[in-house]
Amino acid sequence: MAEPDPILVNDWHAVVELDFLASRGSFETVLLGVPIEIAESGEGSGEVRVSRRDTHAPLPARIRYGHVFTSIGQPNRDIVHFPECHEADRIHVTGGSIAVHVSGLRAVENFLDMGHFPFVHTDYLGVEPHTEVEPYEVTVTEEDEILATKCRFFQPLASPSADGGMMVDYEYRVARPYTVCLYKSNPIEPERWDFIVLFVQPVSEERCIAHPYLSYLAHNLDNETNRWFMQLIFAQDKPILENQLPKRLPLDPRAEVPARSDASSLSYRRWLAAQGVTYGAIPAAA
Amino acid sequence: MSRERRWFPVCRGEEAVPRHIVHTALLGQELAVWRADDGTVNAWENRCPHRGVRLSVGTNLGDRLKCRYHGWTYASGSGQCLERPAHPGEAPPRIVKARRFGCVESDGYVWVRLAGEGAGDGPAPGFGRGTAPPGLTLRSIHVWAPAAAVADALARHAGEAPDGSPAEAVDPYTVRSAHAEAGEILYAMQPVADDETIIHAALAEAPPASERIAVLRRENGRVCALRDAIEASGSP
Ligand code: FES
Ligand SMILES: [Fe+2]
């Protein structure tokens, strides 16, 4: 197993949902192969302590987006800022963390992928024969993020507030190697976007925990319905991801056979290689 | 002869039922084995070329396999990709194919060879009895041990049977024994991985119909006892 890359070591990663932590006081998990413990520091203080379970060294902690974030190195940039997560006319809710036995990079790639909707999320995010992925645009921004725009897909039940099938507009943004978000047109206010961000915790190279955070336009939605929908969708992805071989993401463009609809996946793999991300990946042979 | 060039049994033919996909492995290579409606048996790498999802979690549509992830379909026989639903009505490039292995149905089993296509070398697929197929296939038994060790134990075990009947290691993966009770029994090893083997066994002559169940039970007990002994000892 490779050592985690500095770009991942010196960054923030979500490691537990705050509400879940509150329900048990402390929680043990693994980040980039390092066993860690997260504990509430005192009754109602709202503070948390994070430490390594092997050396007992303290680790930095931040609370953001309904989750505890930590780092096993020295974070040299802040947790990514998502303005949608602070807008008052939205409901903000964690989607429920879900462990997946596959590289977190495969999980990010799955999140970017529209082509699987009719087959994996049948009757919700897609349905045959509406399987076409129309051409869309992928760019790498000045901030060195991946942006996929002009994405469109037919969805029978796009979100818990949808009522019937519609063409849905999407934008995707990869902000960090293990952080990805999407904007999708709201069924009631089509000119505004619903927002989902996925913080993927790399447990090991071949295991991850996906921590979703949702900021949907409020329209009659409640937290429970929103979480239920997210968990339903994720439960459909999990068995597919766990049947991907190999479990790590191959970065060699010849390792798997893409189609045009995989433009965002191709761009993501190239971008990971350019940033020197190897943890959870199979680097291309030199 | 390299093991890759040799034919090994990977399942009983009757396990490859229509519209089903058998998930197995040979020499560490995962396989998706499936029968088309026209009877053709296919043995493919258990991995969709597109994004690596196991084909065994897909769907056998009778003349093609459909991948569970993005619905790409692959034709029986050629393995050629026929459809990529994200691009409807557009023929996929010819190079997009499921990876196929040599595959033959013989003597009641599906036999696979990992290296290339065509004849190759080593024994022909089957128990090597010429044209007479075995009379009765027995239950296949999985053992946590290397194939050579299992074959060796089988040969010795059969030779030490109470009736003292002789057993013969035909080659490192095939054992033939002659039992007073059962007559000739053929055992062929499927080396699933380095430390994992499936014993496929068949009786040369079918017993009378009235004894069939009793014979199946007796031979199943014999091989299971051997498996337990091998796994308990760590080395047979
Ligand atoms: S992985 Fe099989 S169709 Fe995409
Ligand atoms: Fe999905």
Instruction: Give the end of a domain, one of A47, A79, A111.
Output: A79
Three-state DSSP at B213 gives helix
Kindly list the residues from chain A whose CB atom is less than 8 angstroms away from the CB atom of residue B47.
245
Residue located nearest, by CA, to atom 1 of ligand 1: B51
Does the distance separating the beta carbons of A261 and B86 come in below 8 Å? yes
Q: What's the pLDDT tens digit per position in A99-113?
A: 999 999 999 999 999
Considering its fold, how many domains does chain A have in total? 2
For residues B144 and B191, the answer to whether their CB atoms sit within 8 Å is: no
User: Which residue among B49, B85, B87 places its CB closest to the CB of A256?
Assistant: B49
Domain containing A219 equals: 80-282
CA of A69 to the centre of ligand 2 (A): 25
Q: What is the mean pLDDT of residues B89-94?
A: 95
Does the distance separating the beta carbons of B87 and A133 come in below 8 Å? yes
- Characterize A157-188 residue by residue with b for buried, 16 or more Cβ atoms within 10 angstroms of its Cβ, and e for exposed: bbbbbbeeebebbbbbbbbbbbbbbbbbbbbb
Q: Do A97 and A144 fall into the same domain? A: yes
Q: What's the pLDDT tens digit per position in A106-157?
A: 999 999 999 999 999 999 999 999 999 999 999 999 999 999 999 999 999 8
The sign of the CA dihedral B146, B148, B151, B157 is negative
Q: Do A115 and A75 fall into the same domain? A: no
Could you tell me the pTM of the whole model? 0.94
Residue B236 has pLDDT above 50, yes or no: no
- Both tokens assigned to B22: 């058998």
Q: Do A85 and A219 fall into the same domain? A: yes
Does the distance separating the beta carbons of A259 and B52 come in below 8 Å? no
Q: Do A235 and A268 fall into the same domain? A: yes
Q: What's the pLDDT tens digit per position in A10-32?
A: 999 999 999 999 999 999 999 99
Q: Do A147 and A171 fall into the same domain? A: yes
Q: Which of A198-212, B38-52, B88-102, B126-140 has the lowest mean pLDDT?
A: B126-140
Which CATH number do you get for residue A277?
3.90.380.10
Residues of chain B with CATH 3.30.530.20: 136-233
For residues A147 and A123, the answer to whether their CB atoms sit within 8 Å is: no
Residue A221 has pLDDT above 90, yes or no: no
pLDDT of residue B161: 54
The CATH class of B3-113 is mainly beta
Average pLDDT over chain B reads 90
For residues B90 and B66, the answer to whether their CB atoms sit within 8 Å is: no
Q: Do A22 and A124 fall into the same domain? A: no
pLDDT of residue B120: 60
Does the distance separating the beta carbons of B88 and A129 come in below 8 Å? yes
Residue A262 has pLDDT above 90, yes or no: yes
Residue A270 has pLDDT above 50, yes or no: yes
Q: Do A235 and A224 fall into the same domain? A: yes
Q: What's the pLDDT tens digit per position in B116-146?
A: 655 566 778 888 776 677 899 999 999 999 9
B114 or B116, greater pLDDT? B114
Q: Do A174 and A58 fall into the same domain? A: no
Q: What ipTM goes with this model?
A: 0.95
CB of B53 within 6 A of ligand 1: the answer is yes
Q: Which of B135, B114, B103 is nearest to B22 (CA)?
A: B103
Query: CA–CA separation, B226 vs B185, rounded Å?
Result: 15
pLDDT of residue B119: 55
Q: Do A114 and A243 fall into the same domain? A: yes
Q: Do A209 and A154 fall into the same domain? A: yes
Query: CA–CA separation, B158 vs B164, rounded Å?
Result: 8
Residues of chain B with CATH 2.102.10.10: 3-113
Q: Which CATH number fits domain B136-233: 3.40.50.2000, 3.30.530.20, 3.40.190.10, 3.40.50.10260?
A: 3.30.530.20
- Number of A–B residue contacts, CB under 8 Å: 72
Q: Do A61 and A85 fall into the same domain? A: no
A94 or A253, greater pLDDT? A94
Q: Do A165 and A234 fall into the same domain? A: yes
Q: What's the pLDDT tens digit per position in B168-223?
A: 888 889 888 887 777 888 999 999 999 999 999 999 999 999 999 999 999 899 89
- Both tokens assigned to B60: 């056998």
Q: Which of B129, B185, B48, B117 is nearest to A116 (CA)?
A: B48
Residue located nearest, by CA, to atom 3 of ligand 1: B70
Q: What is the mean pLDDT of residues A189-203?
A: 93
